[in-house]
Each structure stands twice: as C-alpha cells, then as structure tokens.
Amino acid sequence: MKAEDETILELDDIQSGALRARPSPYVGTYILLRIDDRRAGRELLRRLIPSVASAGNPPTAMETGVTVGLTFQGLSALGVPQDSLDSFPAEFRQGMAARAAELGDVGESAPDHWEQPLGSPDVHVGLVALASDAARLETALKRARQAYQDISGVEVIWRQDCQALPTGREPFGFRDGISQPAVEGSGIAGTNPQERPLKAGEFILGYQDEMGQLAPMPRPGVLGENGTYAVFRKLHQRVAAFRRYLSDNSSNSGEEELLAAKIVGRWRSGAPLVLAPERDDPALGADPERNNNFLYVADDDEKGFKCPVGAHIRRAHPRDGLDFGNVNIRRMIRRGTVYGPLLPEGVLEDDGADRGLCFVFAGAHLKRQFEFVQKVWVNNGVSIGAPAETDPLVGPNDKSGQFTIPQQPIRRRLQGLPQFVVTRGGEYFFMPGLRALRWLASLDT
C-alpha cells in the first residue's frame, strides 16, 4: 500500500493504456480470447508482457502499444485462487451482462441481442493494439499473433477493427474525447484548467481516493496494486435516425445544428455551448487549450439557458452544475474509438452498415463511477429535476424520450425521441499492473 500522503504513482508498474492518452489519429484492433487450458493462458500472458507498455514508458506516436485486460471468468480460467477471486467487487464478479437491466441495457440493447460472444462466459482476455497508422498496427498485431496463435488451449473468439479519425469526430459528427481529468501524481495534465487534479485512487488501485480512502483491492496485494477496471462497450449509432430527427424538428440547417448542439452540449466542432451559446466557433472547438475550459455555474449557466441541464455532456460530467454530492467521485478516464464506415454527409436513410463507437471507461470503482453515471445521471432525470427524461443522445428512449431546452420566454420540450444508440455488447475487465501480470503468468496451481 502507498502512504496516505504519497502522490507519486508507480508509473512503471501501471499499464500505459490505463492513464496515457492515445495517439491522434490512430488505428486499433480489439481482440477477445478464451482460455481453455490454464497453463496455456499463463503462457499467453508471459508472451504478451514484453509488448505491454507502462505509463512510465509509453509508446511514442511512432511506436505501437498493447493493453491487456481480464474478465472475472478469465481470472478463474487462469487458475487464480478462490480467495483471490472472492476479493473482487460483486459487480465485477457478476459481469456487465448480468447487470444489464440496472445499466439501462434493455429492449434492443439487452444481452439477448448482443453480438456474440460479448457478455458470454467465453470472454476471458481482452487485448487492445493501437498504432498511429495501419502499417505499425500490423506490426503490433503480428506480435500479438505470435503470442497466441501456436498455443493449444487459447482461442481468439472476436475481433473489432477501429480508428480515431484525423478530425477527432465520431459517427454523429461531433469532436470526441475532449474532456479528461488530471490524475494527481501522474504528471499527466487534464483538459480543464479550472479543475484540480483528482486523487490517484479514483483511477488506480492502491492509492488514496477523493474520499480519503483506498478502494477495495483484490488479494493478494501484488494482484491489485496499480491495477484498474476497464468498462468496454460496443455502441451502435443510428446516424440516419439522428439526422432525420434533427431535420423533422427544425426549419432549416442552422436550426438543425443548434438542436444537435443542445442535445449534446457542444457544437459538432467541439466548441462548448457554455462558451459559444449562439453560434458555432470552430476555432474554439479545435483549440485544446480552450475547448474544455469551462464550468456551468461559474460561467453563468446554472439554469441551462446556454447548455441544457439534460444535455449529454452535462449529464455525463455535471462539473459544478449539481448542488449536492461530490461529482469528483464519479469521474472516469474515457476512450472512444470509431468502428465501421461513416454515413456520407446528407444521407438520411440507413444503409444497413454497423457503425458506432468502441468505448472504454477506466476507473477504480465500477459501481460508484460507471454504474452510477449510467444508472443515475444518464438513464434518470431525478438529479436534474426532470424524472421523466433520460439522456437525449444515448439514453434508452425508444420513441418515448423527452428533452427540455430552457429558453425565453417559453421552454421548448421535445417529445418522441427515438433510441439513437444501441448497446451491441460489453464487458468488465480488470487491467492488472505489470507486476500483477507477471504474478498471474507464474501461477503454479
């Protein structure tokens, strides 16, 4: 354990993917594997460890990086002792599929409709390979294949290619990945200079968190220290439906863009409504020094006349916009990666292609971070005084959604929001530290 007043992270023992930003732009591949023989699984880890970069020595833009995560079923398949397995939090042991109803993954997003094998007991190991271009990615994938392809007892069961576009935009057309917290002791700056660095224990196990406590950590200490939890979500985006809704509820293209910005909380350029409430400011949106430098109450938007209190980014991170609770204990590191072809500009009919985001949320507290934000802020409007409303962009609306836009003299209330984002699957992973990976690889039971 680290001393309570110590804020220097053991970066050399933390996987780079847990803390460090990804290159921009980049291409990547997610790979899922099943372990059929525990000794084969341990050999897999031994071979992968040399390719896993630490946060203290992250890959440069010219290099490749691999991140490794294990599900609860994967830890069990490796032969981790039962007392260690029992020491993980209940939500991790149960897995995302078992908690789907609490997360709002119902109807079309329910596990019965997930892409196989996501959410199944067969998912044991998750690999993420990232690189600045396709040629370097192939180098990373070649190393990964060398680690698993000739091991009897380990099977690749799923693969998803993805990319971060040079524009930084996702399929709906919005600049993504703008808001990230600073982590105390990491030396990694956040994106909002008005927010102080958060305690490292919010993100990495073994350090003091914002409550002045240590997050519950799996036993033995070598397994838990410097690890984190990663939430993986494959989210299909109904881009044509989103465009049609904007068109049907606007009288011209300018109104469409404003409505889109009100739903999200930013213009497509990335410019926040709080700083650009009347019209888009592409220069602001493209400026990393300014495009996240805002609060809500402090910047005179307590009532949401600039950015609606129910807008997507305000729900996901209320900043100083809530007058109760500690929003800092809900923060996560977020990474979103585009998959599938983009729908051409102006097309209003669905072409049948699968497109969306592979989203990863990293933090030390699955329940009070990801699950709370998803259940209470995204899928419920009680905290903003609108119990009947869910997130207008990613909420489970299914043509029953409502969204209120404060304005003078009369607020505007949109009705009949369809479901723009459908969950295709997801998993809870544990991302061990480098020492923990070596410990897992050396198990001899």
Q: Which residues are catalytic?
A: 176
Q: What is the DSSP string of 182-213?
A: -BTTT----S-TTSPPBPGGGTSTTSB-TTSS
Q: Which two tokens stand for residue 104?
A: 């709002």
Count of other CB atoms within 10 angstroms of residue 281: 18
In sequence order, the 6+-apart residues with CB closer than 8 A to the CB of 331 are 181, 198, 202, 317, 363, 369
Closest to 69 (Cα-Cα) out of 433, 440, 439, 431: 431
Count of other CB atoms within 10 angstroms of residue 410: 7
For residues 263 and 311, is the Cβ–Cβ distance under 8 A? yes
Give the whole-angstrom CA distance, residue 232 versus residue 28: 14
Count of other CB atoms within 10 angstroms of residue 159: 11
Q: Which two tokens stand for residue 46?
A: 């031994």
Give the chain's largest Cα–Cα span. Answer: 71
Give the whole-angstrom CA distance, residue 439 versus residue 218: 13
In sequence order, the 6+-apart residues with CB closer than 8 A to the CB of 50 are none
**Total residues found in the chain within this entry:** 445
Please name the amino acid found at residue 105.
D
For residues 172 and 313, is the Cβ–Cβ distance under 8 A? no
Give the whole-angstrom CA distance, residue 4 versus residue 266: 38
Give the whole-angstrom CA distance, residue 88 versus residue 425: 22
